Chains A and B, each alone.
Chain A
Amino acid sequence: MAVKNSIKKPIKYLLIALLVGVALYNSVYFEPLDERHIAQKKGVFDPDAFAQKFMETKLTGLPAMEAGQFMEALEQDLEQFTAEKGRKMGISNDYYFIVEGNGIVLDIGNENVRIKLEGVADSELLIATDFIFGNAIREGSGMASIGDFQNTMDFNSISVAVNNRVRTDVVPPFLNEVEEGDHVYFKGAVEVNTKHPDLPNLRIIPLILEIE
């Protein structure tokens, strides 16, 4: 009996050591630190430069849905369309899209310009000209992924920087010239909340605004 126990103990410890070994082998990996730093290109993140580069180089080629088709799809099956085509962050009900299209200016308000979409019956949108906040552009364009940032401050600062660009570079030239009845081309980001969609008052944060 004693001999049996003396054999059992080493087997038990061997099994435990084996389990710990397998667990550790699958838990960690090693890299030279300097190579990793080079690979990561660690440095101080500059959100303004990031936003400027985006506005200057990525904007025209940014994939966008045609606004009329976008509105129709939302009206047909909002839940399915947003789930399939929209971008969202985490577990919220807010989905983001980039849309573009042509419209006729109906009304120039203090906070928005209301337009009627061309070629689509009874479809209107608001183009935001004031209160430009939130993450619609960042999320809708997919310009940045949170996983690429060391902290959320850097990630959030992208939205602040790109919204600032819209406020200073996009909206003022448009507001200086626009008049009711003008034909405009727009491209921008829109946020759709699936629980409270409010489709008649969807608000586009503009990235490109051109009076035709």
Chain B
Amino acid sequence: MDIKTTIIKFQSIIALFVLCVVLALMSDKFLTMENGWNIMRQISVNVCISVGMTLVILTRGIDLSVGSILAFSGAVAAGLLKFGIDMPSLNLYIGFTVFGAILGGFVVGGGLGLFNGWMITQFKVPPFVATLAMLTIARGATMLWTGGFPITGLGPNFAFIGTGWFLGIPMPVWITVIVVAIAVVITKKTKFGRYIYAIGGNESAARLSGLNINKIKIWVYAIAGILAAVGGIILTSRLDSAQPNAGFSYELDSIAAVVIGGTSLSGGRGSIMGTVQGALIIGVLNSGLVLLNVSPFWQQIIKGFVILIAVIMDRVNHPNED
């Protein structure tokens, strides 16, 4: 492997390292354990939804609805936990345990993701449009479910998910590590993972090879929905509040993490670990810019340029892709 290939292969890690060194030199508060855990906790939600986004983009798709699904799943989990379900006609109240509420959030996230996949595969709606529609549907559903007000006071057991520590490591970090580990195994070691790459690389060839493209795509969007729900539950637990406007524009941070991590928007090329590095770069950049007292307006501009540079480098390194 020559130097150029090595640099291309490890460009995200190199960028992350350089960023850390520069920020450590500029701010004495950057290279501290407290800030390290802060960054890890802050990126955990983005990593969860970005893992799902990576799978979607690997199939040459896109999912703009993850932020809204995150909000709705978190709100449903919070609502079930706090209020349960009243059934006046049966004089019955159905209460939910923390486990049940979380399961409810997953079912909602997975269901909405499934619906995305169904629209895309059965009705040939372009992923951009189908998930854009879901973005507004899920946001509206969140407003309806919450009545426009936050759902708060979810109890210490639920709060432990987002704010607790286990073996000296924050719970959101544990959850993120488990999600990433499962996703890495799926993409690297299973047939399903290879099919995802095959569909993104050349969908026609994959179809002619006998793959059930529609089924795999529906599963991928459902997984993206479930992972958005995981992010939603972490966020809701961390804030001890399901906010109707939670996850607003999270899809953009997620796409940014995937792109910076080296996954091709043309599909078929990329990795989960690359996405984790992309999310870390965004997290470190956010933290560093805050510590350096950079104006939030400038932060947006800088992040935009970082995404542009990542895509340009990707195009330069892979000039023959669509």
Contacts and interface: CB of A to CB of B under 8 A. Distances in A.
Contact of A33 (B86, B97, B149): B86
Nearest to B103: A27
A150 B154 CA distance: 11
Contact of A27 (B83, B97, B155): B97
B149 A23 contact: no
B97 A26 contact: yes
Contacts of A31: 92-93, 95
Most chain B CB atoms below 10 A, which of A31, A34, A145: A31
A147 interface: yes
A24 B94 CA distance: 12
Contacts of B238: 91
B95 A152 contact: no
Contact of B93 (A32, A149, A153): A32
Contact of A145 (B95, B96, B104, B153): B153
A11 interface: no
Given A33-B86, A90-B240, A26 B91 contact: no
B41 to A, nearest CB: 10
> Which size bracket describes the interface of A in this complex?
20 to 34
Interface string A148-161: 11111101000000
B299 to A, nearest CB: 20
B87 interface: yes
A28 B94 contact: yes
B20 to A, nearest CB: 24
Contacts, number: 63
A146 interface: yes
A151 B93 contact: no
Nearest to A151: B149
A33 B241 CA distance: 25
B126 interface: no
Given A91-B238, A91-B239, A149-B153, A33 B88 contact: yes
A27 B100 contact: yes
Contacts of B96: 27-28
Contacts of A33: 86-88, 90-93
Interface in B70-91: 83, 86-88, 90-91
A32 B88 CA distance: 9
A153 B147 CA distance: 12
B305 interface: no
Contacts of A27: 96-97, 99-100, 103-104
A121 B155 CA distance: 43
Contacts of B187: none
Contact of A36 (B93, B99, B103, B150): B93
Nearest to B88: A33
A196 to B, nearest CB: 15
B35 interface: no
B91 A34 contact: yes
Nearest to B239: A90
A96 B39 CA distance: 27
Interface string A129-153: 0000000000000000111111111
A10 to B, nearest CB: 24
A32 B152 contact: no
B163 interface: yes
Contacts of A151: 149
A146 B149 CA distance: 14
A54 B100 CA distance: 37
- Lowest 7 CB-CB distances: which A-B pairs, in order? A27-B100, A147-B153, A146-B153, A31-B93, A36-B93, A33-B93, A29-B95
Given A23-B103, A32-B91, A33-B86, 8 more contacts: A27-B104, A28-B97, A32-B93, A91-B163, A146-B240, A147-B154, A147-B155, A149-B153
5 contacts: A23-B99, A26-B99, A28-B94, A29-B94, A90-B239
Interface of A: 23-24, 26-34, 36, 90-91, 145-153, 155
